[in-house]
Homo-oligomer: A and B are copies of this chain.
Amino acid sequence: MAMRSHYCGLVTEALLGETVTLSGWVNRRRDHGGVIFIDLRDREGYVQVVCDPDRAEMFATAEGVRNEFCVQVKGLVRARPAGTTNDKLKSGQIEVLCHELNVLNASVTPPFQIDDENLSETVRLTHRVLDLRRPYMQKNLMLRYKVSMEVRKFLDANGFVDIETPMLTKSTPEGARDYLVPSRVHDGQFFALPQSPQLFKQLLMVAGFDRYYQITKCFRDEDLRADRQPEFTQIDIETSFMDEQDIRDMFQGMIKNVFQTALGVDLGDFPVMTYQEAARLYGSDKPDLRVKLEFTELTDVMADVDFKVFSAPATTPGGRVVALRVPGGAAISRGEIDGYTEFVKIYGAKGLAWIKVNEVAKGREGLQSPIVKNLHDAALAEIVKRTGAQDGDLIFFGADKEKIVNDAIGALRIKVGHSEFGKASGLFEDRWAPLWVVDFPMFEHDEENDRWVAVHHPFTAPKDGHEDLMVTDPGKCIAKAYDMVLNGWEMGGGSVRIHRAEVQKKVFDALKITPEDAQAKFGFLLDALQYGAPPHGGLAFGLDRIVTLMTGAESIRDVIAFPKTQRAQCLLTQAPSPVDEKQLRELHIRLRNPDAIKA
């Protein structure tokens, strides 16, 4: 390669005495004792270039270069003088004595210094190209590539075949909102961008491809949160002739392999927890097991107390009362407790009851709290007994509809565990904490519309023997569904699918989807199931999330080259944008509010 013999960051003492050609960017230029030092940067790192005044032409060029100039250097690799080595750099033992310096392209002064770590997200996304030059972003995207390539290698070795499914597909107004694409050829009709390749991958199993994968973009037009983007990348997998255990074993192996090869981390064995157990202990289907706090069930204990806040949910169907014991939590200040009280309200809790355990041996007298007076002795004793509270602990309480208790106290558990107090008190274990959550319910009841909806999706198979429950008692019907959770994030999830048309029809019945509707929306799947569809199942992983977890980034935007803002905009290209009237005409659509874009 005429323009480069080595990457800057990879010039080491192995090349001492050799002449190298480097191309990269001026990270810093320093004048020091009549000599110019250039820190030259490329994607592999930095190298120090020394420009002596004895080569006049080269030195004059060196005097002219500024930060972010793109330059080519030819020079001699030599040892750095004693005392000036830098052990943090691969190239830290050497420097390159510059013989020839060519400016490949000048740069105007950048709006910020590339190694500035205190940039606002708006600045970063507006000047994304310069933001991407930062070693932090380079490292993140290189790791992302490594992860996806390791995934591909693993799947390839296990006989999985990457098959592309359509991006222009059919709108099915279930679940999230679709992105639509007007058809020019078919007046009044629309494609939808896929929310996932779910149905196509099932069709590929029916077609006999046996093992499928795809690392592909999926689209959901929903309001955004920190870990959501309008388009996101899914590692999408489906297999025939494997049961739930086979599938979990294989893909636990895949994720372990990726963490090992990309990060050098051994994730160990993944515990397996039922959905029910996760809800009971952590109020969550994606518990962060690094936090060493658990719920204590108190619903049965509070039925007869003379305190409506507890007794009402304890005696109402669908209500729940729990305690969250915080060892050493008596040290938490009233101010902090007030903060937590506000926090749980986000999740619908009306307040946050608590007891400080000053001295267990003193019984009622040893407990400090506004609510103690409302609870009879037996209840107080049972609280202390079940929670295992010790002197100096704090006990929080949640009492409400089960969902509110789970959400609010589940979030509180995380908040306390991750707090400075939690970390100082050993309530937070700094480790990788993966697990499987299994045995999800098939359906949950949508109170608002008084109907059952699929927890996973309507193609998920019920547990063997649970088929009839779909008709008789949908709430008790357990699915062959599983999620992989890491540090409180859902990394992936999937299920064994229904492979018999008659079972699929029962699910549609349970969901009150009429046969006509089912045929209109999913007819091609129902048709396919009739032709000897094989037993099959699969799962999908969120690549953005996995890499975010691996890098420790605060947002998935830090592992995506050109992300959208929370307002679903690209600040770099200014997309979306108005389009020509001619384009709209060709697509047979018009704007409802033509004035909106003039504003």
1/0 per residue, CB under 8 A from B, across A221-244: the answer is: 100000000110100000011110
> A190 near B576 (CB under 8 angstroms)?
yes
> B532 near A105 (CB under 8 angstroms)?
yes
> A193 near B181 (CB under 8 angstroms)?
yes
Interface stretch of the complex, out of A84-92, A141-149, A319-327, A486-494: A141-149
Q: Which of A69, A191, A564, A585 has the most chain B CB within a 10 Å cutoff? A: A191
A594 to B187, CA, bound (A): 9
Number of copies of this kind of chain in the complex = 2
Residues of B within 8 A of A138 (CB): 208-209
Q: A107-B531, A141-B163, A573-B169 are in contact. Are A590 and B588 (CB under 8 A)?
A: no
Instruction: Assess whether A371 is interfacial by the CB under 8 Å rule.
Output: no
1/0 per residue, CB under 8 A from B, across A174-186: the answer is: 0001111111111
> A189 near B586 (CB under 8 angstroms)?
no
Residues of B within 8 A of A359 (CB): none
> B535 near A3 (CB under 8 angstroms)?
yes
Q: Which listed residue, B107, B132, B233, touches A532 by the CB 8 Å rule? A: B107
Interface stretch of the complex, out of A30-38, A198-206, A258-266, A458-466: A198-206
Instruction: Assess whether A15 is interfacial by the CB under 8 Å rule.
Output: no
Q: Please tell me the size bucket of the interface on A.
A: 35 or more
> A129 near B209 (CB under 8 angstroms)?
no
Instruction: Assess whether A118 is interfacial by the CB under 8 Å rule.
Output: no
> A596 near B588 (CB under 8 angstroms)?
yes
> A184 near B593 (CB under 8 angstroms)?
no
Residues of B within 8 A of A583 (CB): 171, 173, 177-178, 180
> A70 near B533 (CB under 8 angstroms)?
yes
Instruction: Assess whether A246 is interfacial by the CB under 8 Å rule.
Output: yes
Residues of B within 8 A of A529 (CB): 105
Chain B min CB distance to A466 (Å): 19
Q: Which listed residue, B43, B179, B591, touches A188 by the CB 8 Å rule? A: B591
Chain B min CB distance to A330 (Å): 47
> A577 near B189 (CB under 8 angstroms)?
yes
Instruction: Assess whether A210 is interfacial by the CB under 8 Å rule.
Output: yes
1/0 per residue, CB under 8 A from B, across A34-68: the answer is: 00000001110000000000000000000000001
Q: Which listed residue, B156, B204, B567, B574, touches A149 by the CB 8 Å rule? A: B156
Instruction: Assess whether A587 is interfacial by the CB under 8 Å rule.
Output: yes
> A241 near B23 (CB under 8 angstroms)?
yes
Residues of B within 8 A of A119 (CB): none
Which residues in window 562-593 of A have CB below 8 A to B?
562, 564, 567-570, 572-580, 583, 585-593
Instruction: Assess whether A165 is interfacial by the CB under 8 Å rule.
Output: yes
**A contact residues vs B (CB 8 Å cutoff):** 1-4, 7, 23-26, 41-43, 68-70, 104-108, 110, 128-130, 132-133, 138, 141-142, 144-145, 148-149, 152, 156, 161-171, 173, 177-193, 199-200, 203-204, 206-210, 217, 219, 221, 230-231, 233, 240-243, 246, 499-500, 524, 527-535, 560-562, 564, 567-570, 572-580, 583, 585-594, 596-597
Q: Could you list some 5 contacts between A and B, CB below 8 A? A: A2-B243, A110-B531, A129-B207, A164-B233, A169-B573
